[in-house]
Amino acid sequence: MEISTLTTYHCLAFVWYFFITYSITRVRTEERPSEVFLYGGQWKYLTVLNLVLQAVFYGVSFLADVLRLIKKLRCAKCVISSRDLLFSVLAFPVSTFVSIAFWTLYTYNRELVYPKSLDGVIPLWLNHAMHTAVLPFAVLEILATPHRYPAKKKGVVLLGFVALLYISWVLWIYSVTGEWVYPLFALFSPAGLAAFFAGSLAIIISFYNFGEFLNRMIWGQSKFCF
């Protein structure tokens, strides 16, 4: 993809995610269903944190494109390194996990992750923007430009560390409120919940590996342009 076209795409993607993040934060708390508690606000949900992550990623990508356009190649290399790390370790695996995990659980029993009462608060289009569109955006990014992946051990450790931070946040919220962020968690015993978290971590690492595989299949090992 030409750099000017790529710049336009990344700019539009950034604006889109900024708009979606703004839209979800504008949902009025007084309209929330009884199942949704206030502690932690919107920031207790992985879906919302992912929207912020995607906005940051596309903002960094847009900056990298602009620096390449104006021939600031030394600065561009530094920003591109940050862009690639963000995409490989977080943006692709987290967005893929959010979309697939949400719709899998939603199909099984939506009350476990997205109670029907939320339909009166969050419009259908916004639900799909948060949980559906994130996956094609992630795949399109791989098709649009190559990304340099870190060493496997480094990538997995960084992803695992971020996942553990979120799990710690979920457990902290439960310790303070006695309520689980997602009703699903209330179904498990402590051992079962630990197994669920471990399984989820294994799945998100598999998405990391899948992203690396797609990137290598499409772009090979050497097509990294600055």
Which tokens sit at 175?
A: 């310790």
**Interval 19-34: pLDDT, tens:** 999 998 877 655 555 5
Q: How many domains does the chain have?
A: 1
Task: Tell me if 127 is assigned to some domain.
Answer: yes
Considering the chain, what percentage of its residues have pLDDT values greater than 90? 71
Structural domain for 129, as ranges: 5-31+38-219
Q: How many angstroms separate the CA atoms of 66 and 47, rounded?
A: 29
**Interval 99-151: pLDDT, tens:** 999 999 999 999 888 888 888 888 899 999 999 999 999 999 999 999 999 99
Q: How many angstroms separate the CA atoms of 93 and 170, rounded?
A: 19
Average pLDDT, the chain: 90
**Interval 149-176: pLDDT, tens:** 999 999 999 999 999 999 999 999 999 9
Please calculate the CA angle 113-118-121 and round it to the nearest 5 degrees: 145
Q: How many CB atoms lie within 10 A of CB 18?
A: 17
Q: State the pLDDT at residue 42.
A: 85
**Interval 202-216: pLDDT, tens:** 999 999 999 999 999
Rounded to two decimals, what is the model's pTM?
0.91
CB 49 within 8 A of CB 43: yes
pLDDT confidence of 226, banded at 50, 70, 90?
very low
Q: Is the dihedral of CA 202, 203, 204, 205 positive or negative?
A: positive
Q: How many angstroms separate the CA atoms of 182 and 107, rounded?
A: 15
Task: Tell me if 224 is assigned to some domain.
Answer: no
CB 20 within 8 A of CB 86: no
Which tokens sit at 166?
A: 């979120």
Task: Tell me if 23 is assigned to some domain.
Answer: yes
Task: Tell me if 12 is assigned to some domain.
Answer: yes
More confident residue, 200 or 220: 200
Task: Tell me if 167 is assigned to some domain.
Answer: yes
CB 8 within 8 A of CB 97: no
Q: What is the mean pLDDT of residues 73-82?
A: 86
Task: Tell me if 226 is assigned to some domain.
Answer: no
Q: What is the mean pLDDT of residues 178-182?
A: 90
More confident residue, 87 or 41: 87
Task: Tell me if 215 is assigned to some domain.
Answer: yes
Task: Tell me if 13 is assigned to some domain.
Answer: yes
The answer on pLDDT for 50 being more than 80 is yes
CB 1 within 8 A of CB 65: no
The answer on pLDDT for 219 being more than 50 is yes
